[in-house]
Protein backbone atom coordinates (compact mmCIF):
# COMPACT_ATOMS: atom_id res chain seq x y z
CA UNK A 1 0.00 0.00 0.00
CA UNK A 2 1.34 3.39 -0.96
CA UNK A 3 0.44 6.78 0.48
CA UNK A 4 1.56 10.19 -0.72
CA UNK A 5 4.05 12.38 1.11
CA UNK A 6 4.54 16.12 0.85
CA UNK A 7 6.95 15.75 -2.07
CA UNK A 8 4.40 13.69 -4.01
CA UNK A 9 1.75 16.40 -3.69
CA UNK A 10 4.13 19.22 -4.64
CA UNK A 11 4.13 20.83 -8.12
CA UNK A 12 0.61 19.59 -8.85
CA UNK A 13 1.79 16.06 -8.14
CA UNK A 14 -1.49 15.46 -6.30
CA UNK A 15 -3.17 15.41 -9.74
CA UNK A 16 -0.70 12.84 -11.11
CA UNK A 17 -0.70 10.65 -8.01
CA UNK A 18 -4.08 8.90 -8.58
CA UNK A 19 -3.13 8.01 -12.16
CA UNK A 20 0.11 6.34 -11.05
CA UNK A 21 -0.74 4.95 -7.62
CA UNK A 22 -4.52 5.01 -7.13
CA UNK A 23 -6.80 6.45 -4.49
CA UNK A 24 -5.33 8.78 -1.89
CA UNK A 25 -7.10 7.06 1.02
CA UNK A 26 -7.31 3.29 0.98
CA UNK A 27 -8.11 0.37 3.23
CA UNK A 28 -7.14 -3.28 3.11
CA UNK A 29 -7.82 -6.26 5.33
CA UNK A 30 -5.02 -8.80 5.52
CA UNK A 31 -5.94 -11.72 7.77
CA UNK A 32 -6.66 -10.13 11.16
CA UNK A 33 -5.11 -6.76 10.31
CA UNK A 34 -7.15 -3.81 9.04
CA UNK A 35 -4.80 -1.34 7.40
CA UNK A 36 -6.08 2.17 6.76
CA UNK A 37 -3.74 4.33 4.68
CA UNK A 38 -4.56 8.03 4.64
CA UNK A 39 -3.39 11.02 2.66
CA UNK A 40 -2.32 13.91 4.91
CA UNK A 41 -0.68 16.05 2.26
CA UNK A 42 -1.55 19.65 1.40
CA UNK A 43 -0.17 20.69 -2.00
CA UNK A 44 3.01 22.81 -1.84
CA UNK A 45 3.09 22.82 1.96
CA UNK A 46 5.53 20.71 3.94
CA UNK A 47 3.15 20.06 6.79
CA UNK A 48 -0.13 18.23 6.52
CA UNK A 49 -3.71 17.77 7.58
CA UNK A 50 -6.10 14.83 7.51
CA UNK A 51 -9.19 17.01 7.26
CA UNK A 52 -12.84 16.12 7.76
CA UNK A 53 -13.07 13.77 4.76
CA UNK A 54 -10.02 11.84 5.91
CA UNK A 55 -11.28 11.76 9.50
CA UNK A 56 -14.62 10.33 8.34
CA UNK A 57 -12.79 7.76 6.22
CA UNK A 58 -10.72 6.71 9.24
CA UNK A 59 -13.79 6.46 11.47
CA UNK A 60 -15.67 4.30 8.95
CA UNK A 61 -12.71 2.08 8.04
CA UNK A 62 -11.45 0.81 11.39
CA UNK A 63 -13.15 -2.27 12.83
CA UNK A 64 -13.94 -2.14 16.51
CA UNK A 65 -14.02 -5.90 16.84
CA UNK A 66 -12.05 -8.16 19.15
CA UNK A 67 -9.20 -9.89 17.34
CA UNK A 68 -8.87 -7.21 14.67
CA UNK A 69 -5.61 -5.23 14.67
CA UNK A 70 -6.29 -1.73 13.40
CA UNK A 71 -3.33 -0.08 11.70
CA UNK A 72 -3.39 3.52 10.45
CA UNK A 73 -0.65 4.79 8.12
CA UNK A 74 -0.01 8.46 7.37
CA UNK A 75 2.98 10.31 5.98
CA UNK A 76 3.21 13.13 8.55
CA UNK A 77 3.45 13.06 12.33
CA UNK A 78 0.53 12.63 14.67
CA UNK A 79 2.74 13.26 17.70
CA UNK A 80 6.08 15.08 18.00
CA UNK A 81 9.15 12.95 17.41
CA UNK A 82 12.67 13.72 18.67
CA UNK A 83 15.41 15.12 16.41
CA UNK A 84 12.78 16.31 13.93
CA UNK A 85 13.56 20.01 14.03
CA UNK A 86 10.83 22.60 14.22
CA UNK A 87 7.30 21.50 15.01
CA UNK A 88 5.92 22.00 11.47
CA UNK A 89 5.91 18.22 11.19
CA UNK A 90 2.63 17.64 13.09
CA UNK A 91 -0.58 17.53 11.08
CA UNK A 92 -2.81 20.56 11.70
CA UNK A 93 -5.64 18.47 13.13
CA UNK A 94 -3.41 16.18 15.22
CA UNK A 95 -5.57 16.64 18.33
CA UNK A 96 -8.77 15.58 16.56
CA UNK A 97 -7.08 12.63 14.85
CA UNK A 98 -5.46 11.49 18.11
CA UNK A 99 -8.90 11.46 19.73
CA UNK A 100 -10.28 9.42 16.81
CA UNK A 101 -7.38 6.98 17.03
CA UNK A 102 -7.92 6.51 20.74
CA UNK A 103 -11.73 6.22 20.57
CA UNK A 104 -11.64 3.74 17.68
CA UNK A 105 -9.12 1.34 19.21
CA UNK A 106 -6.36 1.88 16.66
CA UNK A 107 -3.51 -0.43 17.72
CA UNK A 108 -0.71 0.95 15.59
CA UNK A 109 -0.07 4.27 13.84
CA UNK A 110 2.66 4.38 11.17
CA UNK A 111 4.26 7.73 10.38
CA UNK A 112 7.34 8.99 8.53
CA UNK A 113 8.15 12.43 7.11
CA UNK A 114 11.18 13.60 9.09
CA UNK A 115 13.17 10.37 8.72
CA UNK A 116 13.61 9.72 12.44
CA UNK A 117 13.16 6.13 13.67
CA UNK A 118 11.12 6.35 16.87
CA UNK A 119 8.65 4.20 18.82
CA UNK A 120 6.43 5.13 21.71
CA UNK A 121 3.05 4.13 23.08
CA UNK A 122 0.14 6.41 23.91
CA UNK A 123 -2.47 4.63 26.00
CA UNK A 124 -3.23 1.53 23.87
CA UNK A 125 -1.81 2.82 20.58
CA UNK A 126 1.74 2.15 19.42
CA UNK A 127 3.11 5.16 17.55
CA UNK A 128 5.84 4.16 15.12
CA UNK A 129 7.86 6.65 13.09
CA UNK A 130 9.99 5.38 10.24
CA UNK A 131 13.48 6.53 9.29
CA UNK A 132 14.47 6.54 5.64
CA UNK A 133 16.12 3.80 3.66
CA UNK A 134 16.87 5.65 0.44
CA UNK A 135 16.77 9.41 0.98
CA UNK A 136 20.02 11.36 1.39
CA UNK A 137 18.22 13.50 3.98
CA UNK A 138 19.24 11.59 7.08
CA UNK A 139 19.23 13.30 10.48
CA UNK A 140 22.21 13.33 12.83
CA UNK A 141 23.47 9.82 13.52
CA UNK A 142 20.19 8.10 12.60
CA UNK A 143 21.48 7.07 9.19
CA UNK A 144 19.39 4.84 6.96
CA UNK A 145 16.84 2.44 8.37
CA UNK A 146 13.50 0.75 7.90
CA UNK A 147 11.00 -0.95 10.18
CA UNK A 148 9.93 -4.58 9.98
CA UNK A 149 6.59 -5.15 11.70
CA UNK A 150 5.32 -8.58 12.69
CA UNK A 151 1.66 -8.72 13.65
CA UNK A 152 0.52 -11.66 15.76
CA UNK A 153 -2.89 -12.41 17.25
CA UNK A 154 -2.37 -10.45 20.44
CA UNK A 155 0.98 -8.80 20.03
CA UNK A 156 3.12 -6.69 17.73
CA UNK A 157 6.86 -7.02 17.23
CA UNK A 158 8.77 -4.16 15.66
CA UNK A 159 12.33 -4.42 14.40
CA UNK A 160 14.26 -1.29 13.49
CA UNK A 161 16.80 -2.35 10.89
CA UNK A 162 19.72 -0.06 10.12
CA UNK A 163 21.99 0.02 7.13
CA UNK A 164 25.50 0.11 8.59
CA UNK A 165 28.53 -0.13 6.30
CA UNK A 166 26.47 -1.78 3.56
CA UNK A 167 25.04 -4.38 5.94
CA UNK A 168 21.55 -4.56 7.42
CA UNK A 169 21.74 -4.74 11.21
CA UNK A 170 18.87 -5.09 13.68
CA UNK A 171 19.20 -2.02 15.89
CA UNK A 172 16.36 -2.81 18.27
CA UNK A 173 13.37 -5.10 18.70
CA UNK A 174 10.31 -4.03 20.67
CA UNK A 175 7.38 -6.25 21.56
CA UNK A 176 4.00 -4.97 22.65
CA UNK A 177 0.98 -6.85 23.91
CA UNK A 178 -2.24 -5.71 22.31
CA UNK A 179 -5.35 -4.96 24.31
CA UNK A 180 -8.73 -6.31 23.20
For the chain, the distance separating the N- and C-terminal CA atoms, rounded to the nearest angstrom, is: 26
| Pair 158, 145: CB distance under 8 Å | no
Near Fe ion in 28-67, by CB under 5 A: none
Per-residue binding letters, 68-107, with Fe ion (x by CB under 5 A): ----------------------------------------
Q: Taking Cα atoms as reference points, which of 39, 61, 37 lies closest to residue 49?
A: 39
Quick one: 39 or 107, whose CB is closer to Fe ion? 39
From 3, 4, 5, 129, residue interacting with Fe ion (rule: CB under 5 A): 5
Quick one: 104 or 145, whose CB is closer to Fe ion? 145
| Pair 149, 156: CB distance under 8 Å | yes
Stretch that binds Fe ion, among 1-9, 16-24, 49-57, 170-178 (CB under 5 A): 1-9
Q: How far is CA 41 from CA 8, 9, 68, 92, 124, in A?
A: 8, 6, 28, 11, 26
Quick one: 84 or 100, whose CB is closer to Fe ion? 84
Contact call for residue 113 and Fe ion (CB under 5 A) = yes
Quick one: 6 or 125, whose CB is closer to Fe ion? 6
Quick one: 24 or 113, whose CB is closer to Fe ion? 113
Query: Total residues contacting Fe ion (rule CB under 5 A)?
Result: 3
Tell whether the torsion through CA atoms of 18, 98, 125 and 61 is positive or negative: negative
Residue nearest to Fe ion (CB): 113
Contact call for residue 144 and Fe ion (CB under 5 A) = no
| Pair 127, 121: CB distance under 8 Å | yes
Stretch that binds Fe ion, among 2-10, 17-25, 31-39, 145-153 (CB under 5 A): 2-10
Q: How far is CA 36 from CA 3, 76, 147, in A?
A: 10, 14, 18
Residues that bind Fe ion (CB under 5 A): 5-6, 113
Amino acid sequence: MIIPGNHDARNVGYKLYPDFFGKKHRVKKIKNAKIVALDTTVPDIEGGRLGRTGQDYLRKSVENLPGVINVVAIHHHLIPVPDAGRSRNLIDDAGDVLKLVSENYVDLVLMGHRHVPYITRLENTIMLNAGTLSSVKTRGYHGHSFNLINLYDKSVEIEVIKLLEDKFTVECVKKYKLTD
